[in-house]
Amino acid sequence: MQCALASLRVVPPALSAKPRYVRHLLLTLLMLALVFGCGYAGYRISEKAGIRGLTESGERQLELNARAVESEITKYTYLPSLLELESNVSRLLLTPDGYRRQRVNDYLEGLNRRSGSLAIYVMDTDGRVVATSNWRQSDSYLGEDLSFRAYFQDAILGESGRFYGIGSTVGEAGYYLSHGLKANGRIIGVAVVKIRLDALEQRWQRARLEAYVSDENGIIILSSNPERRLKAVRPLNAEIKERLARSLQYHWSSLDELIPLARTELGAGTEQVTFAAGAPGSQDHAINYLAQTRPLEDTPWHLTLLSPLQDLRREAISHGMLAAAAFALLTFLLIAWNERRKVIATRLAAREALQTANNQLERRIADRTADLRASNDRLKAEIHERRQTENDLRKTQDELVQAGKLAVIGQMSTSIAHELNQPLAALRTLSGNTIRFLSRGSYDVATTNLQTINELVDRMGRITASLRAFARRSNDGGEASVGKAVEAALQVVQPRLERTPLNIHHQFEDARLAINQTRLEQILINLIANAVDAMGFQADRQLWLQGNVDGDRYRLRVRDNGPGILPADREHLFEPFFTTKPGEQGLGLGLTLSASLASAAGGSLSAEHPPQGGTAFELNLPLAATVMETPDE
């Protein structure tokens, strides 16, 4: 599973981008297909609904117009039978003569005028016209043999003749209604009324209605469009064509077929037909119609109403486009909504992730702060403990130093006693002598003795002062700055330097040492003062103050170019009261006490005797920091 995930993760970007691109393309194509599909569905639904609506309104129209045609015809149906009541007509048929013919001609003429028909005429049983309303006209039917006409043949058999035809005499189209005239139960002749139906065509044209009436032979006899007139609505075979041609029913018309470009049956009496509008057969100007046909009562005819479909189609197309646009808009809104939802979801997720990260961070900070506080408290406690320890140590160290110093004084006690006893003995002797010289009046000698006593007391005072200073309990710990100590020491010996000027070379680096500042100054004062004393009798006086850090120690050298120390004296340098200085100048305590102070601070003081001459004293002390860390080690 892990491997499968890993392999999925390492798909190169180029390969992963391709399916996305293909997916987008497919989605776009699908969307387009759906938009077109929706548009087409909208078109079809609209067209279907439109056709349904058109069919319903067409049916009403058809019914209305059919009634109009029927009433136009039926208002004449009684007319031929009316002639049976006219005695002149039957008389003429039974015994024809000129007088009766004229009377009937006049009668028919008047009747024709009043009824508005085309012509009314009477035939004998042979089919010959014996009287007619148009007897005055040159092309009158009078005497014509019309026995070949179907309406005659029907009427002579006692049936009512109904016939549409084009007149053989003048070629005028008309509708013939015939009736067999009876006398004493026998047919003695036939009465015919020819009527025109052009008024119907004109009415349709005025109403911009496309309609036609086809007769029993399928020939259009009435049409709002004159071009369709006398066209066959169904195919005619050669035999029928010949029969019709022979009957001269349609005069000499060619009876071409009105063949639609397309025809779709929609229901009983309803179909969708396409006729060429322009040149025959041209698809460019094809017009679609909804054709509704209904038989006309009392005739073998059919009325067909043509309702153009192009408006409906146009409307359906606009509905389809509207549906496609609505679908596209809806899809667009859905996509936009989905994208927005995704963006909001991503933002929410990012905010949540940020919040989680923030919470984690805060928790971590709180944990870390708590840790830090705890370790800070621990550190504080440790520092407190260390300070305590350090104080304890310092106290102990002070105690030790003090004990060391007292031990040194203890060691020196014999020498001290000796050093003090000598002047004391001298004082006793001198004071005794002085009393005697005073009693004798030798004031000069007594004065000299008193001066000597004074000097001896001074010396004794100096010795005790030095020892007291050394033995004094003080804070022997702490830190000392080398620079400051050198500066302070030079200031103290300044009066002597004024008397004995010398060249001082400062060649030391500053550092902080683990020794009391005053103690370091005391040591330096002793060393510098000794060097000054040693160089007192020479002209060229050089003093080098050199110092450098050496690991965790500091080496401070005080070197002079004085006479140096005799080898015999070198081993006694650090002994108490050893001095080579004449008279009362030296106490011989300086080096002893300085070495003792250095060793109390964990250091040492040693003398060197450079081959080029002079003397150097090296003070070796620990650096301040190293002493602080000592308790840890």
Among the listed residues 55, 542, 579, 620, the single contact to ligand ADP using CB under 6 A: 579
Residue with tokens 């080690």: 633
Cβ proximity to ligand ADP: between 298 and 569 the closer is: 569
Cβ proximity to ligand ADP: between 125 and 542 the closer is: 542
Residue with tokens 């330097």: 497
Cβ proximity to ligand ADP: between 110 and 501 the closer is: 501
Instruction: Round to the nearest angstrom and report the end-to-end CA distance of the chain.
Output: 58
Cβ proximity to ligand ADP: between 265 and 571 the closer is: 571
For residue 59, give the nearest of 266, 201, 270 by alpha carbon.
270
CB count in 10 Å sphere of residue 316? 21
Among the listed residues 580, 599, 620, 626, the single contact to ligand ADP using CB under 6 A: 580
Pair of tokens at residue 236:
């005619």
Cβ 616 to ligand ADP shortest distance, Å: 9
How big is the chain, counted in residues? 633
Q: Tell me the C-alpha to C-alpha distance, in Å, between residue 117 and each of 87, 135, 207, 299, 369.
A: 22, 15, 24, 18, 122
Provide the 3-class DSSP secondary structure of residue 498. helix
Cβ 558 to ligand ADP shortest distance, Å: 8
- Strand stretches in 519-624, DSSP E: 542-550, 553-560, 604-608, 615-622
Long-range contacts of 244-248 (CB under 8 A, 24+ apart): 244/217, 244/219, 247/148, 247/149, 247/150, 247/165, 248/148, 248/165, 248/166, 248/168
Cβ 496 to ligand ADP shortest distance, Å: 13
Do 70 and 100 form a contact (C-beta atoms < 8 A)? Answer: no
Do 213 and 308 form a contact (C-beta atoms < 8 A)? Answer: no
Do 159 and 139 form a contact (C-beta atoms < 8 A)? Answer: no
Output DSSP code: residue 160.
P
CA distance linking residue 503 with residue 497, whole number of Å: 10
Provide the 3-class DSSP secondary structure of residue 573. coil
Cβ 492 to ligand ADP shortest distance, Å: 15
Cβ proximity to ligand ADP: between 36 and 574 the closer is: 574
Q: Give the strand order in the sheet containing 161-166.
A: 129-132, 119-124, 186-195, 173-183, 161-166
Please report whether residue 599 would count as binding ligand ADP according to CB under 6 A: no
Near ligand ADP by CB under 6 A, which window of 95-103, 268-276, 316-324, 579-587?
A: 579-587
Provide the 3-class DSSP secondary structure of residue 556. strand
Among the listed residues 308, 404, 536, 586, the single contact to ligand ADP using CB under 6 A: 586
Bridge partners (DSSP) of residue 588 are none
Cβ 594 to ligand ADP shortest distance, Å: 8
Continuous H helices in 441-516? 443-471, 482-492, 494-499
Cβ 417 to ligand ADP shortest distance, Å: 18
Cβ proximity to ligand ADP: between 331 and 542 the closer is: 542
Cβ proximity to ligand ADP: between 222 and 587 the closer is: 587
Cβ 531 to ligand ADP shortest distance, Å: 5
- Strand stretches in 102-223, DSSP E: 119-124, 129-132, 161-166, 173-183, 186-195, 210-214, 220-223
Please report whether residue 591 would count as binding ligand ADP according to CB under 6 A: yes
Cβ proximity to ligand ADP: between 299 and 526 the closer is: 526
Total chain residues near ligand ADP (CB under 6 A): 20
Please give the residues from 21 up to 80 whose contact with ligand ADP meets the rule CB under 6 A.
Answer: none
Cβ 565 to ligand ADP shortest distance, Å: 4
Provide the 3-class DSSP secondary structure of residue 51. helix
Cβ proximity to ligand ADP: between 521 and 560 the closer is: 560
Cβ 491 to ligand ADP shortest distance, Å: 20
Please report whether residue 602 would count as binding ligand ADP according to CB under 6 A: no
Q: At what angle do helices 482-492 and 517-534 cross, to 10 degrees?
A: 50
Cβ proximity to ligand ADP: between 185 and 582 the closer is: 582
Cβ proximity to ligand ADP: between 37 and 610 the closer is: 610
- What's the burial of 43, exposed, middle or buried (CB within 10 Å: 0-12/13-18/19+)? buried
Cβ 569 to ligand ADP shortest distance, Å: 6
Cβ 549 to ligand ADP shortest distance, Å: 25
CA distance linking residue 623 with residue 633, whole number of Å: 16
Do 202 and 290 form a contact (C-beta atoms < 8 A)? Answer: no
Cβ 614 to ligand ADP shortest distance, Å: 8
The secondary element (H helix, E strand) that includes residue 520 is helix 517-534
Cβ 524 to ligand ADP shortest distance, Å: 13
Near ligand ADP by CB under 6 A, which window of 27-35, 264-272, 500-508, 575-583?
A: 575-583
Cβ proximity to ligand ADP: between 234 and 609 the closer is: 609
Cβ proximity to ligand ADP: between 120 and 532 the closer is: 532
Among the listed residues 42, 50, 477, 590, the single contact to ligand ADP using CB under 6 A: 590
Cβ 587 to ligand ADP shortest distance, Å: 4
Please report whether residue 573 would count as binding ligand ADP according to CB under 6 A: yes
Cβ proximity to ligand ADP: between 112 and 526 the closer is: 526
Please give the residues from 196 up to 255 whose contact with ligand ADP meets the rule CB under 6 A.
Answer: none
- Gyration radius from the chain CA atoms: 78
Contact flags string 497-536 toward ligand ADP, x per CB under 6 A: -----------------------------x---xx--x--
CA 79 to chain centre: 91
Please report whether residue 581 would count as binding ligand ADP according to CB under 6 A: yes
Cβ proximity to ligand ADP: between 211 and 543 the closer is: 543
For residue 46, give the nearest of 321, 326, 325, 329 by alpha carbon.
321
CA 277 to chain centre: 59
Please give the residues from 542 up to 571 whose contact with ligand ADP meets the rule CB under 6 A.
Answer: 560, 562, 565, 569
Cβ 553 to ligand ADP shortest distance, Å: 23
Residues of this chain that interact with ligand ADP (CB under 6 A) are 526, 530-531, 534, 560, 562, 565, 569, 573, 578-581, 586-588, 590-592, 615
